[in-house]
């Protein structure tokens, strides 16, 4: 929230957004700030809801392939195949700039060969991941 026109607690009229800590009632809330050294509220003032952008960072596809976020709801036995198919699809698309030619037998064989090579390449890493996931599911 951004506050304006408050008489008494001028410190809040600086235009800086304040985070709401809790809502007490329909017209009352507590801000997440120590106001004990501020002046005493007299009257007036408005508050304006201010949406503050939240920075979200993502890791690369390659990093997620090697070190995926582990979710205990995923069925472990399909993960290696799913990961290698996704990675092969992305790699194929990056090389060919299209997926439409996968309808041909020749291109489909090329794609499956890429997938198998990727599967071999990441097999050891996937085994470690599978062990971690199985241990998580036991807990």
Interval 6-64: pLDDT, tens: 999 999 999 999 999 999 998 888 999 999 999 999 999 999 988 878 888 877 767 76
**pLDDT tens digits, 88-135:** 888 878 887 877 777 788 888 888 888 888 777 777 676 777 777 677
- Beta-carbon contacts of 134 under 8 Å, excluding residues fewer than 6 positions away, are 76
Q: How crowded is residue 58: how many other Cβ atoms within 10 Å of its Cβ?
A: 7
pLDDT score recorded for residue 56: 82
- Has residue 56 been placed in a domain? no
pLDDT score recorded for residue 32: 92
Question: For tokens 């205990």, what's the residue?
Answer: 72
Q: Which domain holds residue 103?
A: 61-138
In a shared domain, residues 43 and 67: no
- Has residue 26 been placed in a domain? yes
C-alpha dihedral, 115 to 120 to 126 to 128, nearest 10°: 180
Number of domains in the chain: 2
Residue 119 near residue 84 (C-beta atoms within 8 A)? yes
């Amino acid at each position: 929230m951004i506050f304006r026109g408050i008489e008494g607690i001028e410190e809040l009229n600086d235009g800086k957004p304040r985070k709401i800590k809790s809502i007490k009632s329909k017209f009352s809330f507590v801000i997440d700030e120590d106001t004990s050294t501020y002046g005493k509220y007299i009257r007036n003032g408005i508050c304006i809801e201010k949406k503050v952008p939240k920075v979200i960072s993502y890791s690369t596809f390659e990093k997620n392939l090697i070190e995926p976020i582990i979710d205990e709801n995923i069925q472990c036995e399909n993960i290696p195949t799913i990961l290698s198919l996704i990675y092969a699809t992305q790699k194929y698309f990056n090389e060919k700039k299209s997926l439409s030619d996968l309808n041909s037998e020749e291109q489909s064989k090329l794609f499956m060969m890429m997938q198998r090579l990727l599967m071999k390449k990441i097999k050891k890493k996937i085994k470690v991941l599978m062990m971690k996931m199985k241990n998580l599911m036991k807990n």
